[in-house]
Amino acid sequence: MNILTTYIQSAMHQATYELLEDGTFYGEIPTCPGVMTNALTLEDCREMLQDALEGWILLGLKLGHEMPVIDEITLTIQQEEAA
């Protein structure tokens, strides 16, 4: 299993879900600021949350953001120095 897959799985294990008064489900990953979603079913909420997480990771890495360490897993991109 590659490190990105392991990171995503570990982050998803930290997800929290809540049934809202309107009958929809809200999900978020507290260690990943801004990764949240709302859906009609818990299954849809989980799927959408993983999609949001994957996009958040890709954008964060592209922009050079420091990603949170999750279960001792660190995502970093090594920048090559110009000679």
pLDDT tens figures, 25-77: 999 999 999 999 999 999 999 999 999 999 999 999 999 999 999 999 998 76
Encoded amino acid at 58, one letter: L
pLDDT for 75? 87
Range of the domain at 30: 3-62
43 is a domain residue: yes
Q: Do the domain assignments include residue 58?
A: yes
In a domain, residue 30? The reply is yes
Distance, CA of 70 to CA of 73 (rounded, Å): 5
Q: Is the pLDDT of residue 82 over 70?
A: no
Asked, for residue 69, whether it belongs to a domain, the answer is: no
Q: Domain containing 10 — which CATH number?
A: 3.30.160.250
Domain count, the chain: 1
The pTM of the whole model exceeds 0.85? yes
Q: Taking each helix axis as running N to C, give the angle between helix 42-62 and helix 3-13, from 0 to 180 degrees, rounded to the nearest 10.
A: 130
The reply to whether 68 falls in a domain is: no
Query: Over 70: is that where the pLDDT of 83 sits?
Result: no
Are the C-beta atoms of 36 and 53 separated by less than 8 Å? no
Is 32 within a domain? yes
